[in-house]
Structure 1
């Protein structure tokens, strides 16, 4: 009877080992995906981050990059702990899984919070950023971001083209009598902003603020979904780790 129990216990341990190894391999791949999503969120439209009033969006993406890197290292550690059957390594592995779980939940929560407040923040800040910082000293990153935003999304001004009438740059001699920046033009040429006519410049209802908001919201949905999704899968890994830890003989310490 005892022999049968030992045999059954060993079979259960072996099954748990291979199950955890399979999980770790998939987990390692998931870490690459998480890190890739974080990097993509930062690099794909990095210029626009300078137009956002808070750093929550960037923080969410950085957390995903960090979590993804830790996940990949943890996946390797998990494989070592599994095949060496060392309870000490399994404890370290479990703690790392828990830390990653909390990081990804944090990323998802930050994305959700910023999702709720983005519209209000953009309405308060985007127009002021365009009016006060465009083409100003030491604000090249803002100028490039605004130009790219207007060209890429085919829009002009925060809410409308009339926003540019209050621009510090437009009202200065440096604008050379332009009504709007050249990046508002449908056909971008030097000085094309001198003609404020719908046939020449983009006149989009809602201006650039609605375009930027929709773009950021789409990215936040992806960040939140990836963070919470991978974190949910990790719960399975933690359960398997606990089961294997308990099934291993104390002598393996």
Structure 2
């Protein structure tokens, strides 16, 4: 009788592994860049702090360093989880990315100055036939959905299987991706 081999690798699995590893490396590099800007600001531009009445400049620099560090740690965890194929770390990374996506969707979707986020979320939902980070209920927390601008929608029109104007007013399985 054959033995079950969980480590069976296929071309798709290997490609997915390296794609995820590359994504996490880019994520780590982005964190490094943000942290470097924060450190550069603190080290080389600290002379200007005494000229400013508020501590906003200094606080912003520290926030950049902390945010960059958090992104770098997440990227390293993602690289390790992908390379070593650690399920628990991959689950942690998956949860972190889902929460990040949900947070971006609820706070930045259809907000002034965040048109790129709106476009990316709409394209993602249409391309992957989904609605929200986990499901369509994620949109209940959206600032845009609760605003007058949404026009009574419960989900964005990009959640609709057949996209027509105001199709997101009715959250029904026959027309909304879950």
The TM-score with structure 1 as length reference comes to 0.37
Q: Is the contact between residue 56 and residue 114 of structure 1 (CA under 8 Å) also seen in structure 2?
A: no
Q: Is residue 2:140 matched to residue 1:165? A: yes
Q: Is residue 2:94 matched to residue 1:127? A: no
Superimposed CA distance per residue, residues 150-179 of structure 1 (whole angstroms, 9 cap, x where no aligned partner): 100100011111111111000000000001
- 71, 93, 113: which one pairs with 2:80? 113
The answer for the alignment partner of 2:26 in structure 1 is 58
Q: By percentage of residues, which structure has more helix?
A: 1
Q: Is the contact between residue 164 and residue 179 of structure 1 (CA under 8 Å) also seen in structure 2?
A: yes
Residue 149 of structure 1: how far off its partner (Å): 0.9
Alignment of 1:190-209 (within 5 A): 190-203=165-178
Distance 1:166 1:59 in 2: 27
Q: Is the contact between residue 154 and residue 169 of structure 2 (CA under 8 Å) also seen in structure 1?
A: yes
The answer for the alignment partner of 2:116 in structure 1 is 141
Structure 2 residue runs without a partner (length 5+): 1-14, 31-75, 83-89
The TM-score with structure 2 as length reference comes to 0.51
Would the alpha carbon gap of residues 110 and 161 (structure 1) be closer, same or farther in structure 2, given more than 3 Å must change?
Answer: closer
Structure 1 residue runs without a partner (length 5+): 1-36, 42-54, 63-108, 204-253
Q: Is the contact between residue 132 and residue 167 of structure 1 (CA under 8 Å) also seen in structure 2?
A: yes
The answer for the alignment partner of 1:150 in structure 2 is 125
Q: Which has the higher contact order (CA 8 A, sep 6+)?
A: 1
> What is the number of equivalent residue pairs in this alignment?
105
* 3-state DSSP of counterpart to 2:177: coil
- Give the root-mean-square deviation of aligned CA atoms: 2.7
Q: Is the contact between residue 109 and residue 117 of structure 2 (CA under 8 Å) also seen in structure 1?
A: yes
Distance 1:167 1:57 in 2: 30
Moved over 2 A (4+): 55-62, 109-118
Alignment of 1:1-253 (within 5 A): 56-58=24-26, 112-113=79-80, 115=82, 116=90, 117-203=92-178
Distance 1:57 1:184 in 2: 31
Larger radius of gyration: 1
Residue 111 of structure 1: how far off its partner (Å): 6.3
